[in-house]
Chains A and B, each alone.
Chain A
Amino acid sequence: MTARTGLLVSAVIFLSACAPVKLIEPTRVTVGDGFSVEPQIRWSSLPARPGLDLWTVDGATLDAVTFFKGVADGQPLYRGPMGGAPQEDKRPKFRAAMTATDIAELFEDSFAMLRMQNLETTGLRPAKFGAEDGFRFEMAWVTPGGLEMQGVVAGAVLKNRLYAVVYSGARAHYFPRYRDTVENLLKSITLR
């Protein structure tokens, strides 16, 4: 998929007529209830699915930081109508009792639902998410259009809700480009 097509696809997915793109400044931003980060650089915040924030520099398919701001027990990661995806009640769902291994599988299965291919999850390990005991893992996949992607997922379950940050980007050029920036962003997470 070309960069231009990527932008178009992103636009189709994330833009709706009424919700404008918002500029995110590098200084600390509250993304959800008690959930804040230092963005490090300027990002464009695109309108996203319910419960999610999505930031990008070059277009959401090329590079994106997605915030999952407290997925409740029984909810899928991706809510709302999506062409081609199963009805919300048939999507893989988060359960408060899930282990980190289950959650990694939940992300993998949810990506598969979005028609991502050749999914590979590696390096699941314990990691602090803010002050919480959380997890980290890496993912690799290929988009339906054939673009090779990489991602890193950091998260934790707090008060029965899943909080997570997913950084995803095209393997060539874009993912490595903001990798260190996102690492600092992840270190700056506070969650209460």
Chain B
Amino acid sequence: MKDIAAGLLTAVVALTVVLGCATPRGESGALRDLKAGERPTLDSDEAGLWMAMDRVEAKLKTSGHIIADPALNSYVRTLVCRLTPPHCDGIRIYVVQTPHVNASMAPNGMMQIWTGLLLHAENEAQVAYVLGHEIGHYVRRHSVQQFRDLRTKAAASVFFTTLAGAAGVGFVGPLIQLATVSSVFAFSRDNEREADDVGFELMVAAGYDAHEAPKIWETLLAQRAATKDPKSLIFFATHPPTEERVVTLKALAEKTGSPPGERDAGRDRFLAATLPFRASMLRDELRLRRPAATQLLLDRLSATSSASGEIQFFQGELYRLRAASGDDARAIAAYEKAISMGDAPAETYRSLGLVLMKARESSRARAALDRYLELRPDATDREMIHEYVKRLE
């Protein structure tokens, strides 16, 4: 869910945008921006909204989805504080382990950053733009606006039912439910444009390279084109990626006067912070079983990234799991390439050995499995691997 607003646009602009909306707003009128540290008064509808989100947040904290790693959390917090120093203390950040690309902000200051965003973004500037967008919804109090709109449409019961669902525990888990809540906040195009503006202004004010902002949308557009099931792309439920967005952001970036690459993209910091988690993020991505979209990601990573042996290993894993005709040979080639790069994980030898075993290449399979055992003498699956080796003799 998102919300907010940043204090960068003037109240006049906010007033114009709000008055421009077609839906009736009851008595709400234009909302001024949320001040740093501000909490809604207890008897307000906004306080009810915050309370409902506090319950969702309590559930999220214990859900097992949260990555607690202090270094990663500190990195993300530093980024958010650089974007919005005044609101930094009022925002609670949760890094959520799930391969879907998403970030969201609840009206009570709960910010979620899904690991899929960290995997698909190329640098800190791209993440900063997305988080700036979410902060835009928050500071502009878009969810309160949305809630009041829904109330005037007599849809408030739907709203609270959905919130209650999100606060509860269900079979599919809170992530999907939170996404459902997000869809309640499928903001108007005006709200989205406003958040885009705020996100852009925040990233520029924080010194990031503005030319990175449209690139994250381009990445997502390409990914959508490669995915047969666009509904699986949760972020799009509330952030329709449009060519218009890309064009607008490119024009805004041109207007800053700085050429691409001149200002900070934070690529090295971003890689240093996220690389320790990349293997597990890629494993989560593979589990989505969307090889075409995953292939796009791997292509981009191998073109731009360090630790290439790891990426080649996952390329092999993609082929092995896809298991289409000819994929075993492709997997073998990818694993061998990974090994030739020198920084492949030990599991590369295990996967290579198993694919070779199926291809009845006994001696090569045995050599690969032996090598895995050599590198990982304490592997908990060593008994099984010994058994495979024995069968190959």
Which residues of A are at the interface with B, using a C-beta cutoff of 8 A?
A: 1, 5, 9, 12-13, 82-86, 90-92, 95, 97, 99-102, 104, 109, 112-115, 117-118, 122-126, 135, 137, 142-146, 148
Known: A124-B380, A145-B63, A146-B64. 9 other contacts (CB 8 A): A90-B229, A97-B358, A143-B64, A144-B63, A144-B65, A145-B169, A145-B173, A146-B62, A146-B63
State whether the Cβ of B383 lies closer than 8 Å to any Cβ in chain A. Answer: yes
A99-B172 contact, Cβ under 8 Å, with A112-B284, A122-B380, A124-B380: no
- Neighbouring B residues of A83 by C-beta, 8 Å: 170-172
12 A–B contacts from the bound complex (CB under 8 Å): A9-B171, A12-B170, A86-B289, A92-B289, A99-B357, A99-B358, A102-B354, A115-B172, A124-B383, A126-B387, A144-B173, A146-B63
Whole-angstrom distance between the alpha carbons of A6 and B316 in the complex? 39
Counting chain A CB atoms within 10 Å of each CB, the highest count among B63, B384, B388 belongs to B384
- Neighbouring B residues of A13 by C-beta, 8 Å: 171
8 pairs of A and B residues whose beta carbons are closest in the complex: A144-B173, A84-B172, A142-B64, A115-B173, A146-B62, A125-B383, A145-B169, A124-B381
Q: Can you name the residue of chain B whose Cβ is closest to the Cβ of A137?
A: B381
State whether the Cβ of B263 lies closer than 8 Å to any Cβ in chain A. Answer: no
Whole-angstrom distance between the alpha carbons of A146 and B171 in the complex? 12
Partner of A117 from B97, B170, B354, B388 at Cβ < 8 Å: B97
Q: Can you name the residue of chain B whose Cβ is closest to the Cβ of A102?
A: B354
- What is the 8 Å Cβ interface bit string for chain B, positions 354-385, against chain A (1 contact, 0 not)? 10011000000000000000000000110110
Whole-angstrom distance between the alpha carbons of A12 and B380 in the complex? 36
Q: Can you name the residue of chain B whose Cβ is closest to the Cβ of A115?
A: B173
- Neighbouring B residues of A126 by C-beta, 8 Å: 383-384, 387
Whole-angstrom distance between the alpha carbons of A92 and B322 in the complex? 10
- Neighbouring A residues of B232 by C-beta, 8 Å: 86
- What is the 8 Å Cβ interface bit string for chain B, positions 168-185, against chain A (1 contact, 0 not)? 011111111000000000
State whether the Cβ of B39 lies closer than 8 Å to any Cβ in chain A. Answer: no
Closest-CB distance, A88 to chain B (whole angstroms):
12
Partner of B323 from A90, A95, A148 at Cβ < 8 Å: A95
Q: Can you name the residue of chain A whose Cβ is closest to the Cβ of B288?
A: A86
Determine whether the beta carbon of A99 is less than 8 Å from that of B354: yes
State whether the Cβ of B25 lies closer than 8 Å to any Cβ in chain A. Answer: no
A5-B171 contact, Cβ under 8 Å, with A113-B287, A143-B64: no
Whole-angstrom distance between the alpha carbons of A84 and B98 in the complex? 14
Whole-angstrom distance between the alpha carbons of A176 and B59 in the complex? 26
- What is the 8 Å Cβ interface bit string for chain B, positions 130-149, against chain A (1 contact, 0 not)? 00000000000000000000
Partner of B287 from A97, A109, A145 at Cβ < 8 Å: A109
State whether the Cβ of B350 lies closer than 8 Å to any Cβ in chain A. Answer: yes
Whole-angstrom distance between the alpha carbons of A99 and B238 in the complex? 42
- Neighbouring B residues of A143 by C-beta, 8 Å: 64, 173
Whole-angstrom distance between the alpha carbons of A46 and B107 in the complex? 42
Whole-angstrom distance between the alpha carbons of A100 and B284 in the complex? 21
A90-B381 contact, Cβ under 8 Å, with A144-B63, A146-B63: no
Q: Which residues of B in the span 276-325 have a Cβ within 8 Å of any Cβ on A?
A: 284, 287, 289, 323
- Neighbouring B residues of A123 by C-beta, 8 Å: 380-381
Closest-CB distance, B103 to chain A (whole angstroms):
19
Whole-angstrom distance between the alpha carbons of A90 and B322 in the complex? 11
Whole-angstrom distance between the alpha carbons of A76 and B229 in the complex? 19
Determine whether the beta carbon of B171 is less than 8 Å from that of A82: yes
Closest-CB distance, A79 to chain B (whole angstroms):
16
Whole-angstrom distance between the alpha carbons of A3 and B392 in the complex? 48
- What is the 8 Å Cβ interface bit string for chain B, positions 51-70, against chain A (1 contact, 0 not)? 00000000100111100000
Whole-angstrom distance between the alpha carbons of A143 and B384 in the complex? 28
Whole-angstrom distance between the alpha carbons of A137 and B174 in the complex? 28
- Neighbouring B residues of A1 by C-beta, 8 Å: 169
- Neighbouring B residues of A146 by C-beta, 8 Å: 59, 62-64
Whole-angstrom distance between the alpha carbons of A176 and B23 in the complex? 58
A9-B170 contact, Cβ under 8 Å, with A142-B64, A146-B63: yes
A112-B287 contact, Cβ under 8 Å, with A86-B232, A142-B64: yes
- Neighbouring A residues of B384 by C-beta, 8 Å: 100-101, 124-126, 135
Q: Can you name the residue of chain B whose Cβ is closest to the Cβ of A108?
A: B287
Determine whether the beta carbon of A118 is less than 8 Å from that of B284: no
- Neighbouring A residues of B350 by C-beta, 8 Å: 101
Closest-CB distance, B250 to chain A (whole angstroms):
35
Determine whether the beta carbon of B172 is less than 8 Å from that of A85: yes
Q: Which residues of B in the span 247-290 have a Cβ within 8 Å of any Cβ on A?
A: 284, 287, 289
Whole-angstrom distance between the alpha carbons of A115 and B177 in the complex? 12
Closest-CB distance, A102 to chain B (whole angstroms):
7
Whole-angstrom distance between the alpha carbons of A111 and B387 in the complex? 26
- Neighbouring A residues of B229 by C-beta, 8 Å: 86, 90
Whole-angstrom distance between the alpha carbons of A1 and B171 in the complex? 12
Whole-angstrom distance between the alpha carbons of A58 and B289 in the complex? 34
Closest-CB distance, B311 to chain A (whole angstroms):
20
Determine whether the beta carbon of B64 is less than 8 Å from that of A117: yes
Q: Which residues of B in the span 205-246 have a Cβ within 8 Å of any Cβ on A?
A: 229, 232
- Neighbouring A residues of B176 by C-beta, 8 Å: 84, 115
Closest-CB distance, A136 to chain B (whole angstroms):
9
Closest-CB distance, B390 to chain A (whole angstroms):
9
Whole-angstrom distance between the alpha carbons of A9 and B287 in the complex? 24
Whole-angstrom distance between the alpha carbons of A5 and B168 in the complex? 9
